[in-house]
Amino acid sequence: MTKGPRDKRMSIDEVVGSLKSGMTIGIGGWGPRRKPMALVRAIYNSDLADLTIVSWGGADVGLLARAGKIRKLVYAFVSLDSVPLEPNFQRARQAASIPDVVELDEGMFQTGLRAAAQRLPFLPMRAGLGSDVMVNNPWLKTVTSPYDDGHGHEELAAVPALKLDVALVHLNRADQHGNASYLGPDPYFDDLFAMAADQTYLSVEEIVDTAGLTVDTPVQRLLLNRMMVTGVVETPNGAHFTTCTPDYERDERFQRAYAAAASGSDEEWQAFHDRFLSGDEASYQAAVQAFTEENTK
């Protein structure tokens, strides 16, 4: 590939090759929605280990837990929506195979990303106070407001920054420089992940020229700018089997097959792995296409 100035296009292998064991990796999207699954699948098949994963989790967390890649997990939930508890995550939690687990209130999780994005050590908030979040994470501290609002000096939760070495996010469109837009109804918190990270790798359904990012699309749909992005990868269907509205919705039939294999015997999971996860991304997409054709006859 011939690259011009500020051309940040990369391959999946180049992105994963730039990562190192022991890193803290934030994964964008929301549960089973717009997850950078092509990049996650490549990490699943890599030699990377001892990762700290920070995620509003879905199959991204499940796959990496099943592969034994996670040393520490920071999450607010791990769900597939129509499958309430992600089954590979459930298996890992029941087996205590993730050494260090931090479960935060959803608002606290967001505040931790905001603190990291602002390069602050923590931010104060009310969420979490009086809950078992504070009980189960006794290392969490509180601070007293220096201001008296007429009701005394309020005690607040001091939510530590969720600083990331790397963020992985998936959006609908980007240019070769890393400017990117979402076309669905929700930006989730992908911009916060990017700003909380030292490096951000972006996968997209399509790379277009810069002018094409705003054709028939409001400018406010531009979620990431090139200053936030280290590399961009074109990965059509790269969020599968999660949603990437309006390009495609969640593949419920495939998700049921994934959940059944994850909840089944080791042999059932191995068969699923061998069919769908043992090769590269092109092999995965071909296997998914064959599965779809088999189940729509």
Mean pLDDT of the 75-81 span = 97
- Report percent pLDDT > 90 for the chain: 91
- Report percent pLDDT > 70 for the chain: 97
Residue 212 has pLDDT above 90, yes or no: no
Q: Angle at Cα 93 formed by Cα 88 and Cα 98, nearest 5°?
A: 95
- 3-class DSSP assignment, residue 203: strand
Cβ-contact 203, 38 below 8 angstroms: yes
Cα 254 to the center of its chain, rounded Å: 19
What residues are paired with 25 via a beta bridge?
A: 53, 166
Give residue 4's pLDDT band: very low, low, confident or very high (50, 70, 90): low
- Could you give the residue range(s) of every CATH 3.40.1080.10 domain in the chain? 12-105+162-294
> Rounded to whole angstroms, how far apart are CA atoms 227 and 235?
21
Residue 170 has pLDDT above 90, yes or no: yes
As given in the structure block, the two tokens for residue 162 are 């969720």
**Model pLDDT for residues 15-27, shown as the tens digit of each residue:** 999 999 999 999 9
Determine whether 221 is exposed, middle or buried from the number of CB atoms within 10 Å of its CB (0-12, 13-18, 19+): middle
Give residue 270's pLDDT band: very low, low, confident or very high (50, 70, 90): very high
Domain 12-105+162-294: top CATH class:
alpha beta
- 3-class DSSP assignment, residue 225: coil
CA distances from 75 to 60, 113, 148 (A): 12, 12, 33
